[in-house]
Amino acid sequence: MRRRKYIYFFGGPKTEGRKELTNLLGGKGANLAEMARLGIPVPPGFTITTDVCTYYYDHEGNYPRGFKQDFEKHIARVEKTMQAGFGDSENPLLVSVRSGARISMPGMMDTILNLGLNDKSVRGLINKTGNERFVYDSYRRFIQMYANVVMRVEYHEFENILHKKKKILGIEEDSQLDPRALQDIIRLYKARVKKLTKKEVPQDPEEQLWGAVGAVFASWNNDRAVSYREIHKIPHGWGTAVNVQTMVFGNMGASSGTGVCFSRNPSTGENIFYGDFLINAQGEDVVSGIRTPGSITKKRGKEKGKGSLEELMPRLYKRLHSTVARLERHYKDLQDVEFTIQKGELWILQTRSGKRTPEASVKIAVDMVREKLISRREALLRLDPYQVEKLLHPTFNVGSERQVLAKGLPASPGAAVGRVVFTPERAEELASEEEKVILVRIMTSPEDIRGMNSAEGILTQVGGLTSHAALVSRGMGKCCVVGCSAVEVNYQKKEFRAGNVRVREGDTISLDGSTGEVMLGELELTPPQISKEFYSVLEWADEERVLGVRTNADTPKQARLARDFGAEGVGLARTEHMFFEEDRIDDFRAMILAEDEKKRMTWLERIYRLQKQDFTDIFKEMEGKEVTIRLLDPPLHEFLPEDAKDRNRLAKKLRLTPSKVKEKIHSTEEQNPMLGHRGVRLGITHPEIYDMQARAILEAAVVLLKKRKKIFPEIMLPLVATLEEFEFIHERIVKLARDIQKRHRIKIPYKIGTMIEIPRAALIADQLASTSQFFSFGTNDLTQTTFGISRDDIGSFLPAYTEHFIFKDDPFSTIDEQGVGELIKIAVAKARKVRPNIKIGICGEHGGDPKTIEFCHKVGLDYVSASPFRVPIARLAAAQAAIRENSKEI
Amino acid sequence: MRRRKYIYFFGGPKTEGRKELTNLLGGKGANLAEMARLGIPVPPGFTITTDVCTYYYDHEGNYPRGFKQDFEKHIARVEKTMQAGFGDSENPLLVSVRSGARISMPGMMDTILNLGLNDKSVRGLINKTGNERFVYDSYRRFIQMYANVVMRVEYHEFENILHKKKKILGIEEDSQLDPRALQDIIRLYKARVKKLTKKEVPQDPEEQLWGAVGAVFASWNNDRAVSYREIHKIPHGWGTAVNVQTMVFGNMGASSGTGVCFSRNPSTGENIFYGDFLINAQGEDVVSGIRTPGSITKKRGKEKGKGSLEELMPRLYKRLHSTVARLERHYKDLQDVEFTIQKGELWILQTRSGKRTPEASVKIAVDMVREKLISRREALLRLDPYQVEKLLHPTFNVGSERQVLAKGLPASPGAAVGRVVFTPERAEELASEEEKVILVRIMTSPEDIRGMNSAEGILTQVGGLTSHAALVSRGMGKCCVVGCSAVEVNYQKKEFRAGNVRVREGDTISLDGSTGEVMLGELELTPPQISKEFYSVLEWADEERVLGVRTNADTPKQARLARDFGAEGVGLARTEHMFFEEDRIDDFRAMILAEDEKKRMTWLERIYRLQKQDFTDIFKEMEGKEVTIRLLDPPLHEFLPEDAKDRNRLAKKLRLTPSKVKEKIHSTEEQNPMLGHRGVRLGITHPEIYDMQARAILEAAVVLLKKRKKIFPEIMLPLVATLEEFEFIHERIVKLARDIQKRHRIKIPYKIGTMIEIPRAALIADQLASTSQFFSFGTNDLTQTTFGISRDDIGSFLPAYTEHFIFKDDPFSTIDEQGVGELIKIAVAKARKVRPNIKIGICGEHGGDPKTIEFCHKVGLDYVSASPFRVPIARLAAAQAAIRENSKEI
C-alpha cells in the first residue's frame, strides 16, 4: 500500500497541491498551491494536511509514522529553493506557521511569525535588512509569541516587562525603543520564560518549528475555536492544515512595500482594480491603520499624485494588475489579494474570494455573466439571499459614526430616524403633521397597528423576533427593533431610560433594524436602490425556480407592492387587521360583546359591508391570481379595549354600564390565549362571524366577476385540529356559496382549504385532504406547538439556550427540520396520498427565510408566501434551491 | 343464485333464527328466535332483517324483489300457528310491530301495538277477553298510535279530543271513560285523521302492517335516533330489524298477569331469583308504577303472603324459575326477562343481559366462575372498568331524593358532604376542628393544596376535567366537581349563588363526583366497600396482563395506598407539590426571588434537606420497586404569593421592600405560562435547582442502600423538546452521581430518562433514546400541544364542540388515537430502533383510563401509571386488553 502523503510542497513548478484539495490542505494552503501552479510568485513553503491533524487528535498528540522524515525533507527543500538556511547567520530562512481550515476561522487559531530567528540568525537578518531596530523588535515579538502560543506563558508577563522598561526609559510608545533597549528586553523575556517554565525558548529553528506545528494543531480545540465551530456549524472532526511558508518583508526600503487589493470594487461592484498600498512597510502596518495607506491605482483630480503604486512602481503595478486579473479569471470571482514587494520583487501571499456589499455582490454577479465568466446559474448561486435582503431597505451610511445607546433584536431590517413617541395616537398625530416618529412601546398589540403604520420605525422593550411588533413590521417593511431589554419604558413619565441616559418624548433617535442598534440623535440615511442588475437576477431566478412565490398581504397597498416585487398571488390575507381601522373597531367590539345573536347580527351586517369592500380592493390588485383569505383567527379578547375611555365609549354604544362592559371584557381573558378560544374555534362557537366573512369574500368576488375580472378567492380556516371542525365550517360555506351563485347566476371559482398549524392537523392530513382543497402551513403556530414554546415568553430562557447552544438556529426564523419539518413531511405525504394534486404552501414568517425555502423546495411544496419585502428574496432562494437540486441530480 | 332470506320465522320448533344472527335480526329478534329454538314458549312471529332496512334506505323506501310474497307467506304462517285470523271477528290475530337494532336504542324508534284491530276484530277480542272497556281503549290507543307514527298526525290532536270529552262528561281520569264514551272518541279520532290527512286509518290489517313496517324503518333515521347513534358511536349504516309478534295479554282475568324478573339480584349480585309481578295487568302497568307490583318470590317476615307469584301460581312460578335459570345457563350471564301469563299460559316476551350495579357485576362474575359457568377470562371481560371504578369511592344512596342545585363536570368520582368554605385556610381551620368541609373556589392553584387535602370535596366554578382541581383531586381520590358555571362564587361576600339560591359559608352541601351534581343539604353516604370478590378479580387480572401498573404518587401516604391497591412502582412523583408544605413554601419562594446565585444556594440548601427526607420516605414505601421522580416542572410564578400578607412576610425574609417583591413577582408573569419558562427550561436557566433535586434523590437512595434496602430511583426530566436540553442536564446529573457514589463508596442503581410531552420530543425520540434510559409519555401536556388547546381555557368552546360532536371522546380523558396516539406510535417505533429494550410508560391522567390502557397495550408500552384509586382499574383494563388481543390472535 502506498503511504499516505502528509505534506504538500508549494512554490514554483514543483508545487504539489491544487485548489481542489481544500479539504486536505485547507483554504489557504490550496490557494497558495494553486497560485504557484499558475506560475504566480508565491513565497515557497509546504502544507501539512488536515489528515495529520486528525491523526494527532486520534493518537494523543503523536504524529503518523514517517511524518518526521517527510517534515525534515520539506524543510530542506524550502531551504534549497530559497537558497537560505534555517538559523543561518548570513542568509537566514524565516518562516511563518499558520493554521488553515477548510473554511476560514479568522483569528480563532494560533499563528507564529518570523520563526527561525535566534541569537545567530538575527545578525543575518540585520545584514539583509540593514534595519537593526526592526530585527530586534521582530525577535522580541517572536519570543513573546512563541512562549505564549507554544509554552503557555501568559501574555501579561511580557507586557509587564515592556511596561517597566518604558517607565525606566521615560518613554511612552513601543516605537521609541532603540535596539539596545530591545536587546535588554529580549534578555528579560528569556529569563522570565526560563523562570516560569524551567525551559528556554528553543534556539534550534527545527525545534521551534516542531513546537509551532504542535501548537497550531492544539489550537484547533481551544475554547474560542470550538465555540466558533459550534456557532458556524463546522464539524469538529475536520481538523486544520498547517502552512509553513517563507517570510518575505515589505519593509526593506523604498523598493519594498505591501498591500491588499481587489480585482473589482467590493463596495460598488464596479469592474475597477482597487486596493491599498504602503511603501516600506509590513502587512500589519496596512491593517493596523497607523499609517494611512496610499492607493494602488492613480487617483484622479485632487488626490492625484499622492504616491500610488501605479505611479511609484509602474512595472510592478502592471504585473500585480495582470496577476490579479488572471486570478479573477481563474477563480471566476472577485479576488481579495495580499501581496508584498521585497526589494523590487512581487510576492503574492494570499488570494481568496472577496467579501462585498449586497450592491456589489449583485452587480459583480450580473457583470460576470455578461462577461461570460460565469453562467446565470452560477451567478444565482453566488448571491446570499440573507445579504441581498438588505438591498430592499434604507440603511445608514456605512461610514457614519454611531453612539449605540442600547441593542435589541433586529426584527425588521432597514434604518429609521424620528422623534420618540410612546402611544400609537401620538404617533398618528405627529405623523399627520409630517413629523417623522419612532414608536416606542413595551410591546405592541393589534390596537397599535395604525400608530405603527404612521411611524418610521418601532422599538419594543420586550418580545422576540416573531412577536406582534416584529411580524407586523416585517409585513409593513418597516424598520423594527424588539426585545430591547436595556431600554426601560415608562409610559406615565413619557420617557425611556437606557443605562444612565433618559430619552423623553420628542427626542430624536435612530434605529438600525439590521443590527438591532438604537442610537441617540439623527444618523444619515441611504434610501434603498433596486438596481437594474437586481431585476436581471430576479428574472433569471424566475426561469429556474419551481416553487411559486406568493405574498402575505392584509391591505390592497401591500398586495400592490408585493405584485410589483413579483408576487404570484396572496398566500395569506389576515382579515383581523382590517378590523382595527378607526371606522370599524367599535362596531367589531360591539359585535363581540352583543348580548344575543340578534344584536350581534346587526353589528355584523355593518362590518360585512366594510369587509366586502376590503376584499374587492385586494382582489382588484391581484386580478388573475389566487388570493387566500384566512378567516378570523385571534382570540376575541385581543380586540377589546383596556383603556377606560374606550370602554366607556363602547358601553354607551352598547347601552350597557361601563362596569358591565368591564366585566364582560374580563370574562374573555384566558390563561393561555395562544391555546385558547381562537381560530376555527371561534367559527364553531360564533358561526355567524365566519358566515359573514365568507359572504363578504364571495360577494366581493361576484362584484368583480360581473365586470369580467378574473378572480380566484381561496377561503382558509385557521387552527384546525380535527376533521370535524373543518367539515362543520366547510358545509356552511359551501351552502352559502351555492345560494350566492344561484342568486347571481354566476359561477365563483372559489376554493376552501385549511391552515396546518397544529401538530394534530399535520398528523391527520390525509383525513383533512379528503375535504380540504388546499393546505397552507402556518409555521409560526406550528413551531410554537411542536416545541411547546410561546414566542411571547421565550425571552426569559432564550439567553441561556443560546449560551449553551441548545438552539442552533432560531426556530422561529428558520424552520426546525427535525421537528416541525418532520411534521410537514408527514402531512405532505399523507395529503398527497389522498389528493395527489392538492396545492400546499407555507404562509408563516418562515416563508421568507431562504433556508426554509430550500426545505420547502425539497419537500415539494407548491409555493411559499412571504411578506412583500421578502418576495424578491424568496424568488432568489427558490431558484437556488432548484439549481442545487438539479446539480445534485447530474 | 339463492335468493337472500329477508324474513325469519320464530315460535316453536320451526324457528329459523338464532342468537348468533344479532347483526341480521337485531338483539331482540335473535333472542326471541333463540328462546323459541330452546323450546321456551315465545309468542310466534317473524323478524324482518336489517338487510331489508339497508335496502329500504338505498332504494328510496322500496323493498327488495320477492319481499312482498315472503311477507304474506309469513303472516299466513303466524295465523296458522296461532290458529287465529288477521281481522277475524271471532278469534282475531293481533300483533306488535317493534324495531330491533343490533345494539339496544331504548325508546329511540317507533313501536305499534295491537295491530290487527279494526271495527270487526274488536268484537272478536271482546269475545276472547270479555272486557269491553279494555278492548275499546286498546282500539282508541291503536288509532292514536298508528295515525301518529305512520300518518304523522300530531299527538296533541288526539289529546284535545280526549280532553274535551272528559270535560263534557265531567270526569278526570282516562280510566273513568266507559265503553260508550270510548266508542265516541274512536269516531272523533277517525274523523280528525280523515280531515287532516284526507285518508283513513286502514281497516285492512295487512295494509296496517305494511304501514307499520315502513314507519319503523323510517324511524331509524328520526332526529332522536340519529343523535343517539352519534353519541353512542353506532354506525348509521347498520339499520334496524323489525319484529312482528303475536300479542299476548296479561289482563285477561285472575289467571293472567305480567312481570319482569332477573336470574340474580342485579343490585347485590346475590344468586337469588328476583323480580316484580302484577296479576291481571299489562306490561306497561308494571313499568308505569300506577299499581305497586308484587314480588315473584315468597317474601319472608312481615311482607309474607302479600300475593307473590310463588304463592299465587306455584306451578307457573316453578316453570318461570326453571326457564329463567335455563336462560342464564344458556347465555352465561345475568338475564333480565319479561313475561306474560295469558289465561294460565306462560309466555316469555324478551330476554337480555341485565344491567347491574358495580358491586353486583363483580360478585356475579366471580360467582359464575366458581359455578364453572364462565372462565376467569370471560369474567374479566364482563366487567366494565369505567363502572367498576365507582366501587372505590363512597357514593350517595341510590334511593335518596336529590334536589340538584347546579351541575358541573364530574372530575373525580365519589360523594362528599360538608360545610361550604371559600379559602384553603378556612378549610384547614375547620378540618382541624373535626368539621367536614367542601372547598368552593373559582378555580384552584397549587397554593390551595393543603386546603384541598383538608376538604371532603372540591367544587370549582371554572376549569375542565384536567384542570388543577381535577388532577389534584383524582390524585387524592377526593370527590370533585369542576367547571360548574351555574355557580357564581363571590369571595368577598363569602357566598355563592346558583340561580336564585344563595349559599353562604358554613351552609351544608352535597357533591356527587360521579355525576357532577351539587345538592343543598346533607345526603346520606355509602362508604366504599372492596369486596373479597373484587380482590379475586384483580388477582386474576394480574395473571393475564402484560402491561405493568405503577402509580402517580407525590407523598409517602399516596405511595402506600397505591401499593395496597397493587401498584408495582411509582411512575410519576411530582416534586413540586412537596414545596407547598407550610414549612418550606417560604424558603422555596425566597430561593426563586434570590438576588444572586449565592443567596439562592443558601435557600436551596434548606430545601435540599427537606426534599431528601421526602424522597427517603417515598423510597421506603416503595422498597424493591422503581420510583420515577420528575424534577421541578411548573412555572416559578405559580409558587409566588398573590396575597399581600404573604408578600410582605416574604419581603421581610428576603430583606427587600414589599414593592420590590411585588415587582419581582410581576416580572415572572407570562402571556402563556403553559408554553413558557417551565420544565427542563428551568433546569437550564437555574441548573442549581435541578442539581439540588438530583442530589436529594441520590443521597436519599444512599441512606437506604446503606441499610441494605433495595432502591431504584429514576430521575425524569420534564418538557424536553430537544436532545441538547436533555444532554445538558444529563451530563450534570451523571457527574453529580459519580461524585456521590465515589464519596459513599456505593453503587446507586439509578436511571435518567425523559418525559415525552411535547410533539417535538416524540418526533426526535430516536435521538433522545440514544441517551435517555426510559421514556414516560406525559399525555396531558402532549394532548394540549398536539391539539393546541389549553385545558384551562377549553371551557369557553367545549360546549359548542360537544353539541356539534366535534370531540367524540374528551381528549383529556381518553387518548386521542389519531393525533396524540400517532405521535406515541412514532416515538415508540423510533426509540426502540435505537434502544430496543428502552422502558416506556405513560404517566398522564390518561394512564388510568381503560380505553387508553388498551391503546397502551396495543402499542407495546411497558407500563401505565395511574393515580392510586385508579390502580385497580388499570390492572383490570390491562388484563382485558391482553385477553382481547390473544383472542384475536387465535
Cell match 501568559: residue?
A154
Residues from chain B that touch A675, judged by Cβ atoms under 8 A, are 672, 674-675, 784, 788-790, 793
Q: Which of A672, A725, A763 sits opposite B819 (nearest CB)?
A: A763
Tell me the average pLDDT across B405-418: 86
Work out the mean pLDDT of chain B and round it to a whole number.
90
> Mean pLDDT, to the nearest integer, of A723-739?
97
Assign residue B587 a region (left: φ > 0; alpha: ψ between -120 and 50; beta: otherwise): alpha
Cβ within 8 Å of residue B1, ≥6 positions away: none
The string of pLDDT tens digits covering residues B73-114 is 999 999 999 999 998 888 899 999 999 999 888 778 888 999
Nearest to A759 by CA among B717, B830, B824, B809: B824
Across chain A, how many H-helices and E-strands are there?
34, 33
B672:A677 CB<8 A: no
pLDDT at A860: 96
C-alpha cell at B463: 376549569
Q: Which of A724, A784, A796 sits opposite B805 (nearest CB)?
A: A724
Write B798-807 long-range contacts (CB < 8 A, 24+). Answer: B798/B464, B800/A684, B800/A685, B801/A681, B801/A684, B804/A684, B804/A724, B804/A728, B805/A724, B805/B230, B805/B231, B806/A684, B806/A722, B806/A724, B806/A725, B806/A728, B807/A722, B807/A724
Answer for the pair B449, B580: CB distance below 8 angstroms, yes or no.
yes
Q: Is residue A385 within a helix (H) or strand (E), and if so which, with residue range?
A: helix A385-388
State yes or no: pLDDT of A848 exceeds 80.
yes
User: Do B819 and A760 lie within an 8 Å CB cutoff?
Assistant: yes
B725 neighbourhood in chain A, CB within 8 Å:
806
Least confident range of A84-98, A821-835, B539-553, B727-741: A84-98
Residues of B labelled as active-site residues: 468, 843
For range B141-145, the mean pLDDT = 93
Among the partner residues B763, B797, B819, nearest to A822 by beta-carbon distance: B763
What residues in B contact A793, CB-CB < 8 Å? 670-673, 675-677
Collect all residues of chain B within an 8 Å Cβ-Cβ radius of residue A757: 788
**Helix/strand number for chain B, H first, E second:** 34, 33
Cα B215 to Cα B148: distance, rounded to the nearest angstrom: 10
Band the pLDDT of B889: cuts 50, 70, 90. Answer: low
Mean pLDDT to the nearest integer, B816-825: 97
Tell me which range, A124-133, A275-284, A754-763, B353-362, is most confidently predicted by mean pLDDT.
Answer: A754-763
Residues of A in contact with B822 (CB under 8 A): 763-764
Among B686, B776, B700, CA closest to B729:
B686
**DSSP label at residue A4:** P
Nearest to B674 among A675, A684, A781 (CB): A675
Higher pLDDT, A595 or A75: A75
Smallest CA–CA separation between A685 and chain B, in Å?
A: 6
pLDDT bin (cut points 50, 70, 90) of residue B804 is confident
Please tell me the least confidently modeled range out of A243-247, B29-33, B389-393, B784-788: B389-393
Q: Which residue among A672, A721, A793 sits closest to B787, beta carbon to beta carbon? A: A721
Residue A667: closest CA among chain B residues belongs to which residue? B796
Chain A residue closest in CA terms to B790: A675
Which chain B residues are within 8 Å of A760, Cβ to Cβ?
786-788, 816, 818-820
B191 backbone dihedrals φ, ψ, rounded to 5°: -65, -40
Do the Cβ atoms of B764 and A819 come within 8 Å? yes
List the grid coordinates of B782.
402532549
- Cβ-nearest to B788 among A728, A781, A823: A781
- Show Cβ contacts of residue B37 under 8 Å, excluding neighbours closer than 6 positions: B15, B17, B18
Please enumerate in sequence order all residues whose Cβ is within 8 A of that of A828, keeping only pairs 6 or more positions apart, or say none: A765, A840, A859, A860, A861
Q: What pLDDT is attached to residue B268?
A: 83
Residues in chain B within 8 Å Cβ distance of A674: 671-672, 675, 788, 790
Chain A residue with the nearest C-alpha to that of B674:
A672
Least reliable range by pLDDT among A394-403, A870-879, B134-143? A394-403
Cβ contact, residue pair A676, B822, below 8 Å: no
pLDDT above 90 as % of chain A: 62
Tell me the mean pLDDT in the region B45-59. Answer: 94
How far apart are the CA of B222 and the nearest CA of chain A, in angstroms?
A: 21
Lowest mean pLDDT among A188-202, A382-396, A835-849, B623-637: A382-396
Flag if A719 and B788 touch (Cβ within 8 Å).
Answer: yes
**Mean pLDDT (whole number) for B670-685:** 93
Pick among B763, B782, B810, B820 to test the A interface (most A CBs inside 10 A)? B763
Q: Which residues of A are catalytic?
A: 468, 843
- Residue A300 is predicted with a pLDDT of 61
Q: Give the integer Cα–Cα distance in Å for B350 and A289.
A: 106
CA dist., res. B475 & res. B64, Å (int): 58
- Contact A474/A480 with Cβ under 8 angstroms? yes
- Contact across the interface for A788 and B820, Cβ inside 8 Å: no
**Whether B676 and A793 lie within 8 Å, measured CB to CB:** yes
Per-residue pLDDT band for B1 (boundaries 50, 70, 90) equals very low
Are the beta carbons of B406 and B484 closer than 8 angstroms?
A: yes
Using a CB-CB cut-off of 8 Å, the residues of chain A touching B681 are: 797, 801
pLDDT in tens, B41-50: 999 999 999 9
CB of B860 closer than 8 Å to CB of B836: no
Least reliable range by pLDDT among A72-76, A427-431, B813-817: A427-431
Within 8 A of B806 by CB-CB distance, chain A residues are: 684, 722, 724-725, 728
DSSP A209-249: HHHHHHHHHHHTTSHHHHHHHHHHT--TTS--EEEEEE---
Does B291 have pLDDT greater than 80? no
The confidence score (pLDDT) of residue B289 equals 53
Residue A229 Cα, gap to closest chain B Cα (Å): 16
Average pLDDT over residues A147-160: 92
Beta strands in B631-750 (DSSP E): 712-717
| Residue B109 grid coordinates | 324508534
**Residue B357's pLDDT is what?**
77
Better pLDDT: B523 or A630: A630
List the single residue in B with minimal CA-CA distance to A674.
B672
State the sign of the Cα–Cα–Cα–Cα dihedral A15, A20, A25, A31: positive
- CA A517, CA A459: separation in Å to the nearest integer? 10
The percent of residues in chain B predicted with pLDDT above 90, rounded, is: 63
Instruction: Look at the alpha carbons of B503, B506, B508, B510 in this order and tell me if their dihedral is positive or negative.
Output: positive
**Of A757, A789, A804, which is closest to B675 when you measure between CB atoms?**
A789
Q: With contacts defined as CB-CB under 8 Å, which chain B residues touch A819? A: 721, 759-760, 763-764
Contact: A671, B719; criterion CB under 8 Å: no
Residue A509 backbone zone (phi > 0: left; psi -120 to 50: alpha; other: beta): beta
Residue among A671, A758, A767 minimizing CB distance to B790: A671
Taking chain A, what is the end-to-end CA distance rounded to the nearest angstrom?
33
3-class secondary structure per residue, A692-709: HHHHHHHHHHHHHHHCCC
State the DSSP string of A123-181. HHHHHHH--HHHHHHHHHHHHHHHHHHTT---HHHHHHHHHHHHHHHT---GGG--HHH
The continuous run of DSSP H or E covering B627 comes out as strand B626-630
B655, pLDDT greater than 90: no
Inter-chain CB proximity A788 and B807 less than 8 Å: no
Predicted confidence at residue B285, as pLDDT, reads 66
How many angstroms from the chain centroid is the CA of residue B119?
Answer: 50
Which of these, B522, B453, B460, lies nearest to B491 by C-alpha position?
A: B460
Residue B679, pLDDT > 90, answer: yes
Best of A442, A723, A783, A787 to substitute, by most chain B Cβ atoms within 10 angstroms, is A787
If you count residue pairs, one on A and one on B, with CB atoms under 8 Å apart, how many are there? Answer: 172
Which one has a higher pLDDT value, A87 or A537? A537
Mean pLDDT of B867-881: 94
Interface contact A818-B684, CB threshold 8 A: no
**If we measure between CA atoms, which residue out of A194, A208, A10, A203 comes closest to residue A97?**
A208
Instruction: State the smallest CA–CA distance between residue B213 and chain A in angstroms.
Output: 33
ipTM higher than threshold 0.85: no
Q: DSSP letters of A711-739?
A: -EEEEEESS--SHHHHHHHHHHHHHHHHH
In the chain, the amino acid numbered B78 is V
The string of pLDDT tens digits covering residues A631-664 is 999 988 888 887 888 888 888 888 888 888 888 8
pLDDT above 70 for A25: yes
Mean pLDDT of A401-409: 85
Question: What is the value of pTM for the model shown?
Answer: 0.82
- Round to whole Å and give the CA distance between B736 and B747: 13
**Which residues does chain A have within 8 Å of residue B731's beta carbon, measured at their own beta carbons?**
none
Please state whether beta strands A863-866 and A548-552 pair in parallel, antiparallel, or not at all (unpaired). parallel
Q: Is the pLDDT reported for residue B288 higher than 80? A: no
Q: Can you tell me whether residue B425 is helix, strand or coil?
A: helix
Q: What is the CB neighbour count within 10 angstroms for residue A31?
A: 26
Nearest-CA distance A773 → chain B (Å): 21
The answer to whether the Cβ–Cβ distance between A764 and B819 falls below 8 Å is yes
pLDDT at B398: 67
User: Chain B residue closest to A687 (CA)?
Assistant: B800
Tell me the residue type at A804: H
pLDDT beyond 80 at B401: no
Amino acid present at B449? I
CB contact under 8 A, B763 and A819: yes
Band the pLDDT of B801: cuts 50, 70, 90: confident
Residue A492 sits at φ, ψ, to 5 deg, of: -60, -50
Would the CB atoms of A728 and B806 count as touching at under 8 Å?
A: yes
Task: Return the minimum-mean-pLDDT range out of A366-380, A464-478, B9-23, B588-602.
Answer: A464-478
Could you give phi then psi for residue B75, rounded to 5 degrees?
A: -60, -45
- Smallest Cβ–Cβ distance between A790 and the set B671, B784, B804 belongs to B671
Model pLDDT, residue A291: 66
> Cβ contacts (< 8 Å) between B672 and chain A: which residues?
672-675, 790, 792-793
Pairing of strands A241-246, A45-48: antiparallel
Q: What percentage of residues in chain B have a pLDDT greater than 70?
A: 96
Residue A306 pLDDT class (50, 70, 90 cuts) = low
Q: What is the pLDDT of residue A1?
A: 46
Mean of pLDDT values over A619-630: 97
Tell me whether residues B763 and A823 touch, CB distance under 8 A. Answer: yes
Q: Check residue A399 and give its pLDDT.
A: 67
Q: Which residue has the cell 367599535?
A: A586
